[in-house]
Amino acid sequence: MEYLIGEFSLVARLSVKTLRFYHEEGLLLPSRIDAVTGYRYYDEAAAGRAAAIRELRALGFSLDAIKEILSRCEDDEDIVPYLERRGEEIASEIEDSRATQRMIQEFLERQKEIQGMNVDRNIVIKELPELTVAGIRFKGKYDQVGKYFGPLMKRAGKYALSGPMTIYHDREYRDEDADIEVCVPVRKALNEGELASHPLAGGRAVTLIHQGPYDTISDSYRKIGAYIKDCGLRASVPSREIYIKGPGLIFMGNPKKYLTEIQVIAVHVDDEASRAS
């Protein structure tokens, strides 16, 4: 028995548009095409192939994969390797979706935390824990850090414990070749390409939350520097900048609302000398 394309559409449970597309792709061919009218005709064998395509599409196989399966498989047992591979793909997709869900949840929680935050503009002394961080370290200018956050979060984002930070390894300000590391605290060590993991020592830190654009952050560094000096201490390296609120995931936001926590571990000079030795 043969069916015109409209009739076959009902039999195959596929739209005429889809049938024409599958024909163009070489996936489901008519049994014949009338030379005069150009009408497409489909037979029972095409109906069986259409049913197989429908089932394989429901399992998430691509058209290219379906074309390969139909050309190589005749029985259910033949498709086992393809299903095993598809199962592995689905497991990976689920893991990626869960990681994305965690990132969204962490983003929403962070936004709630920021909205409810009362910014303390005073110096605060904190005991920083030791962390494992994954970072990209480079030498350059301070305003170059932004371009590294995308590659960093792409590689380390799903393992991140919190938002990104910048570590400054120099003891003094440098115009051209500052030793800078953009990093993020992670659940496990990651080493891939320019991304490297290492422990970041904790300690008693002098901290201050700077509110405003990054080009005014030097004012807050001066306050921290004056406090450390008045206390008879010495700033230890590296220092850190924690980005509480900055350019958003989607929007740049208002720089006047940016929140950056500066953290400088301060030690007595004698303690630092003994640590170095």
pLDDT digits (tens, 9 = 90+) for 45-95: 999 999 999 999 999 999 999 999 999 988 888 999 999 999 999 999 998
Cα three-residue angle 199-203-209, rounded to 5 degrees: 100
170 has pLDDT over 60: yes
DSSP state, 212? S
40's tokens: 């497409």
End-to-end CA gap in the chain: 92
Say whether 214 sits in a helix, a strand or coil: helix
Tell me the pLDDT band of 162, cut-offs 50, 70 and 90. Answer: confident
Q: What is the pLDDT of residue 277?
A: 46
pLDDT average, residue stretch 171-177: 90
How far apart are alpha carbons 221 and 223 in whole angstroms?
5
% pLDDT > 70, the chain: 92
270 has pLDDT over 80: no
More confident residue, 66 or 122: 66
How far apart are alpha carbons 267 and 226 in whole angstroms?
14
Mean pLDDT check: name the lowest of 41-45, 187-191, 253-257, 270-274: 270-274
272 has pLDDT over 90: no
203 has pLDDT over 70: yes
pLDDT average, residue stretch 127-146: 94
Number of Cβ within a 10 Å radius of residue 133:
24
pLDDT average, residue stretch 98-105: 83
What's the one-letter identity of residue 125?
I
Where in the chain are the domains? Answer: 3-72, 124-276
CA distances (Å), origin 106, targets 101, 157, 158, 162, 163: 9, 11, 11, 8, 9
% pLDDT > 90, the chain: 65
* Strand stretches in the chain, DSSP E: 3-4, 32-33, 40-42, 124-128, 131-140, 165-168, 178-185, 196-200, 203-211, 234-235, 239-245, 259-267
Distance from CA of residue 31 to its chain's centroid?
48
pLDDT average, residue stretch 187-203: 93
Q: What is the pLDDT of residue 248?
A: 67
Exposed, middle or buried: residue 241 (CB in 10 Å: 0-12, 13-18, 19+)?
buried
Contact 237, 168 (CB under 8 A): yes
124-276: CATH homologous superfamily?
Regulatory factor, effector binding domain (3.20.80.10)
How far apart are alpha carbons 238 and 235 in whole angstroms?
9
Q: What is the pLDDT of residue 245?
A: 85
CA-based torsion, 144, 150, 154, 159: positive or negative: positive
Q: What is the pLDDT of residue 163?
A: 84
250 has pLDDT over 80: no
Fold exhibited by the domain 3-72: Multidrug-efflux Transporter Regulator; Chain: A; Domain 2 (1.10.1660)
Helical (H) or strand (E) element with 92: helix 80-115
Digit-coded pLDDT (tens) for 22-51: 999 999 999 999 989 999 999 999 999 999
More confident residue, 260 or 119: 260
Cα three-residue angle 243-248-250, rounded to 5 degrees: 160
Peptide bond into 238 cis (omega under 30): yes
What's the one-letter identity of residue 83?
L
192 has pLDDT over 50: yes
Q: What is the pLDDT of residue 247?
A: 78
How far apart are alpha carbons 108 and 263 in whole angstroms?
25
